[in-house]
Amino acid sequence: MNKILKILFVFVICHLPSYICHAQQNYSSKNKKAIKHYEEAVQFANSRDGENAKKSLLVAIEKDNMFIEAHMMLSYIYGDLKQPEKAVEEMKKAIEISPGFSSMNYYSLAKFQIATGNYKDAKQNLLRFLKNPSENKEINAKAEQWSANCDFAIPAIENPVPFKPVNAGTGLNSQYDEYFPCMTADEQTFLFTRNLPSKSSPYGWQEDFYVSDKIDGKWGTAYSIGPKINTERNEGAPSLSADGNMLFFVVSEEMYDNANGHDYGLGRKGYGSCDIFCSVKEGNDWSKPRNAGSGVNTYHWETQPSFSSDGKTLYFIRGKREASSMEIRNPDIYMAVMGENGQFGKAIPLSGVINTKGNEQSVFIHPDNQTLYFSSDGHPGMGGLDIFMSRRQPNGEWGESVNLGYPINTFSDENSLLVSRDGKIAYFASDRTGGYGGLDIYTFDLYEAAQPGKTIFVKGKVFDAVTKLPLDADIDVVDLQTGNSVVKWLSNKTNGEFFICLPVNKNYAFNTSKTAYLFYSENFVLNESKDYQPFVLNIPLSPITKDSIVVLRNVFFETNKFNLKDESKSELNKLVDFLNKNSILEIELGGHTDNVGERKLNQVLSENRAKSVLEYLVANGIAKERLTFKGYGDTKPVVANDSDEHRQMNRRTEFKVISK
């Protein structure tokens, strides 16, 4: 896969032997003309003028083909000019002339051989170097890492994973560069960056966001996202929320000037270097972008956001900005969680299972919220940035970083992977031959072992049970097995709609609440299905009035017992919170059974279950004077007791407002 980020063999003078850094007296050549041209090349190299350095070195070698230093320097120059094959040739010539001249030659040869995919020879040359290593510990550590890469790459090439990329077509691609794709969880809206010519930009080009809608199963012709987001400057690395109503993207430092308060009239002010901004969809338009805040953005370099389907967690890349040189070093993956106030808390780095001493980039959290894809050159791989995946473990920590394998990963840099909700299709950007021009968006079938968990999306609408008008309400989805909140969402204030993506085959409590309304409780298991059709859940919220009743659908007891199961705690804690917010409210707790068994025993059981709920509320700070309980047995069924499903509906716990 050819990539967005190319391998750059930068001619780093400080890593070369001293006789290459500057002109000197003791050369392997005695030919004065050869030495003269070599010293010219040194001056060109120090000025980063690779083309003229190459010309001078070729003349020097023509004058003396046994000039070791000239072959060595020419090898590095070819590397800097992105011609690794020629770099290999020249370093081999230097070693052939004098195998013991410098162990660094084996190190450098291995570097260029990895860049051409020749891992077997590179491994042998790294072993030769490590027998006589450098005094520079960083170089030795790099050699060890490259050796590990070779150990991974050699069997990976012999055992390739399935990979057949296909161009995504003219709906997304054009004669210009398209890259950094993202899309909504329902896979109906696709967003990406397009690099366009621009007379107003000082660079002659600018990055804008383009949108494509799916029409009859195909991506329609992409169009600009609009002037609220796109400007005459650059916008980059977008990430959409699962429902498509929130957009996170990157604004570079050129867009604002903290010292002087300049913002090019865009109102975009940052903390330093690149910052992440957010915009919210308002009808068919977008709100004015705002900075994601100091919890996310710092003096350093923040970029490449990915917003989780839980509606609260932002993953992104942060690189350390050196104050002295302004260089960006050691980018890692960070995460920040949005609080109840809508602001992100302080971002923290992911663990060493993910982050390394190398570079981590292009993080993508799948809609299952359990699978993380990212690029790294710090884990064993093919040599450059490889794409890895990690799965969330039962304890919430991230598991082992797994390389996606060859030929998805190659000796070049791979990044910006996007995976569809069902996990079967992956998207990436490539400038491979046969495209429409520059970087294009491509797709491929993602092999099963690299696919995320299965998900289904839940969509619906929250509305006033009396007026039927839409409501913006807080939605909290809890995994009843763990008791953890997996999604916190806010229904759209304009139409009351919500869109949530959840892993399948789990038991969920679905709670919806809004001030001045009774909260809504639902319980459901999302079963895996072949077509993954959405689960539709329309939610009526009732205003708080006397005699209003709420069914607590996530309060559970053992069969014929009245001891509360642990899974009941999340629901009952919601009730505690509701009663604390409505401090003068008095309620009756009612227990109900089906008609199986003796009526007298059912009556006693229902009373004891209602009493157990009352005792839990009192134990958690609710005044006993506000609470009563009553057992109704099987006297008030909500449906006929004619099936297991209906009998389960009749076995329930409720609360009724008796005073407000």
Give the SS3 label for residue 550.
Answer: strand
- Those residues with Cβ within 8 angstroms of residue 136's Cβ, 6 or more apart along the chain or in another chain: 15
Candidates 30, 367, 377, 50; CA nearest to 182 is 367
Name the phi and psi angles at 601, rounded to 5: -65, -40
Evaluated on CA atoms 494, 495, 496, 499, the torsion sign reads negative
Residue 263, class by beta-carbon neighbours within 10 Å (0-12 exposed, 13-18 middle, 19+ buried)? Answer: middle
Q: Give the contacts of 612 (CB within 8 A, at least 6 positions apart).
A: 557, 562, 563, 564
Burial of 434 (C-beta count, 10 Å sphere; 0-12/13-18/19+) = exposed
Q: Could you say which DSSP state residue 50 is in? A: H
Burial 631-640 (b: 16+ CB within 10 A, else e): bbbbeebeee
Query: Measured in whole angstroms, how far is the alpha carbon of residue 347 from the centre of its chain?
Result: 14
The CA distances from residue 26 to 32, 46, 68, 104, 536, in Å, are: 12, 20, 12, 18, 80
Q: For the chain, what's the residue count?
A: 660
Environment class of 198 (CB within 10 Å of its CB; exposed 0-12, middle 13-18, buried 19+): middle
Asked if residue 588 lies in contact with residue 655, where contact means CB atoms within 8 angstroms, the answer is yes
Write out the two tokens for 42. 């040194």
Phi first, then psi: what are they for 288, rounded to 5°?
A: -60, 125
Give the residue ranges of the chain where pLDDT is below 50. 1-19, 21, 256-265, 530
Beta-ladder partners of 209: 193
Give yes or no for a cis peptide into 407 (omega within 30° of 0).
yes
| 250, 237 contact by CB (below 8 A) | yes
Which residues make beta-bridge pairs with 509? 478, 523
What per-residue confidence (pLDDT) applies to 270?
77
The CB-side HSE value for 548 (13 A sphere, CA atoms) comes to 19
Amino acid at 442: Y
For 464, counting Cβ atoms within 10 Å of its Cβ (0-12 exposed, 13-18 middle, 19+ buried), the class is: middle
State the pLDDT at residue 532.
59
Alpha carbon separation from 269 to 252, 265, 319 (Å, rounded): 10, 10, 19
Q: Residue 480 corresponds to which tokens in the numbers above?
A: 């009843």
Distance CA 263, CA 616 (A): 55
Helix (H) or strand (E) holding 551: strand 549-552
**Beta-carbon count within 10 A of 216 CB:** 5
Rounded CA-CA distance 520/129 in Å is: 68
Q: Angle at which helices 32-46 and 68-80 pack, to 10 degrees?
A: 30
Cα 502 to Cα 480: distance, rounded to the nearest angstrom? 13
Phi, psi of 462 (to 5 degrees): -105, 135
DSSP state letters, 468-524: --B---EEEEEETTTTEEEEEEE--TTT-EEEEEEESS-EEEEEEE-TTB--EEEEE
Cα separation, 522 vs 536, whole angstroms:
12
Look at residue 24 in the predicted model and tell me its pLDDT. Answer: 56
Sheet strand arrangement including 440-445: 166-167, 440-445, 425-430, 418-419
In order of their start, the domains of the chain are: 13-158 (1.25.40.10), 166-450 (2.120.10.30), 454-543 (2.60.40.1120), 547-660 (3.30.1330.60)
**CB contact set of 516 (below 8 Å; sequence gap of 6+):** 543, 544
Q: Mean of the per-residue pLDDT values for the chain?
A: 90
Which helix (H) or strand (E) segment is 389 a member of?
Answer: strand 386-391
Give the Cα separation of 525 and 406 in Å (integer): 38
Per DSSP bridges, beta strands 497-503 and 455-464 are: antiparallel
Q: What's the pLDDT tens digit per position in 515-572?
A: 999 999 998 887 765 455 778 889 999 999 999 999 999 999 988 999 999 999 999 9
Residue 506, pLDDT score: 87
State the chain's maximal CA–CA distance in angstroms. 113
